[in-house]
Chain A
Amino acid sequence: DTAVSQTPKYLVTQMGNDKSIKCEQNLGHDTMYWYKQDSKKFLKIMFSYNNKELIINETVPNRFSPKSPDKAHLNLHINSLELGDSAVYFCASSQRQGSTKLFFGSGTQLSVL
């Protein structure tokens, strides 16, 4: 019954590997996001999609590629993982684009060894 669910919760992998994180929301929201939270707890937006269309693409290495097959799903694929990619990645959704409440997923803790 979770509103915004993301998998996996933990991801431990070696440098150079490729990995994906999946996110789904059952709230009927139009807009979805990926945020990165570093070890200092700073929350930084990476991407935002509205009805499957990319609307925010921050300065993120092109090793990170989001994909939204439909408005309920937003996945994040990361190629050639680096040590600095270690962080907690949060998926979020909002009813519409603009100044509205964000609903966060439970986070994926990525550790790159």
Chain B
Amino acid sequence: GENVEQHPSTLSVQEGDSAVIKCTYSDSASNYFPWYKQELGKRPQLIIDIRSNVGEKKDQRIAVTLNKTAKHFSLHITETQPEDSAVYFCAAGSNDYKLSFGAGTTVTVRA
């Protein structure tokens, strides 16, 4: 089955700085790579996703990159703000219906 590893487990950044979270996956059949954000005490919510036919995708201050050859993908948050503080999960999935999640990264943005 798919194995997704996510680093770092915790990340503290100064407001306005950038944050980068990296994930690797093991199954070359994976073709869908979403990122979920979970604020304290709330449900995970999709913030951005990328499919294997695309190398990079951007949405305002958030960008994701995918390197299929190396089997890794990353989330980049620029100009971080206090409301970016949350747990971020990467995931990898394929057409066998199952998403495998990384262990999560707790991001703290210091004011």
Where the two chains meet, the residues of A that have a C-beta atom closer than 8 Å to any C-beta of B are: 31, 40-45, 48, 50, 55-56, 90, 97-102, 104-107
Contact = CB atoms under 8 A, between A and B. Distances in A.
B2 to A, nearest CB: 11
A45 B45 CA distance: 16
Interface of B: 31-32, 34, 36, 38, 42-46, 49, 51, 87, 89, 93-95, 97-101, 103-104, 106
A41 B94 contact: no
A4 to B, nearest CB: 8
Chain A CB count within 10 A is highest, among B45, B49, B101, for B101
B51 to A, nearest CB: 7
10 contacts: A45-B100, A98-B93, A98-B97, A99-B31, A99-B32, A99-B94, A100-B32, A101-B49, A104-B43, A107-B43
A26 B87 CA distance: 27
Contact of B97 (A56, A90, A105, A107): A56
Nearest to B32: A99
